[in-house]
């Protein structure tokens, strides 16, 4: 049994009397760190296990899905960036499948990088800022609350 190369990361509670923006982004960052910590130390076998049959949901699949969700909501839809769609055509709404070459360390690395891209996308944006993606009209506030 070999362990994945994923270590826990610090989680910082958001300030409890912050601005709306500080509260929303702080809670999201707290939850992002929680995702990494929930898979830290798992073996690949544990990361791809389906502990609650008949569900096919796996810890590794959740990390991969959340990576796509970060890209979809913040970079593609909110910022209107021309980036590759995060999911295959046969699963356009983001299921939880894994690819043969996936590793837990690789999935977490991609997740952390996508979260950082999201932070850069929203830095300095107003919570009332509108989505720039085609045919979209949600605000950054909505996207942060959704996430």
Residue 23 included in any domain? no
Residue 19 included in any domain? no
Residue 1 included in any domain? no
Residue 76 included in any domain? yes
Per residue, what are the HEC states of the chain? Answer: CCECCCCCCCCCCCCCCCCHHHHHHHHHHHHHHHHHHHHCCCEHHHHCCCCCCCCCCCHHHHHHHHHHHHHHHHHHHHCCCCCCCCCCCCCCCCCCCCCCCCCHHHHHHHHHHHHHHHHHHHCCCCCCCECCCCCCCCEHHHHHHHC
Number of domains in the chain: 1
Q: Mind listing the pLDDT tens digit of every residue in the chain (147 residues)?
A: 455 689 999 999 999 999 999 999 999 999 999 999 999 999 999 999 998 888 889 999 999 999 999 999 999 999 999 999 998 888 877 778 899 999 999 999 999 999 999 999 999 999 999 999 989 999 999 999 999
Taking the model in full, what pTM does it have?
Answer: 0.92
Could you tell me the residue range of the domain that residue 142 belongs to?
A: 50-146
Residue 86 included in any domain? yes
Residue 7 included in any domain? no
Residue 44 included in any domain? no
């Amino acid at each position: 049994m070999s362990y994945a190369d994923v270590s826990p990361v610090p989680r910082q509670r958001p300030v409890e009397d912050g601005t709306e923006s500080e509260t929303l982004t702080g809670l999201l960052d707290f939850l992002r760190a929680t995702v990494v910590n929930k898979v830290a130390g798992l073996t690949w076998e544990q990361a791809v296990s389906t502990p609650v049959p008949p569900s096919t949901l796996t810890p590794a699949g959740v990390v991969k899905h959340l990576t796509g969700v970060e890209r979809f909501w913040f970079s593609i839809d909110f910022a209107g960036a021309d980036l590759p769609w995060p999911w295959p055509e046969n699963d356009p709404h983001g299921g939880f499948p894994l690819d043969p070459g996936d590793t837990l360390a690789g999935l977490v690395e991609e997740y952390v990088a996508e979260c950082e891209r999201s932070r850069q996308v929203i830095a300095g944006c107003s919570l009332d800022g509108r989505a720039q993606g085609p045919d979209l009209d949600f605000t950054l506030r909505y996207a942060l609350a959704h996430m």
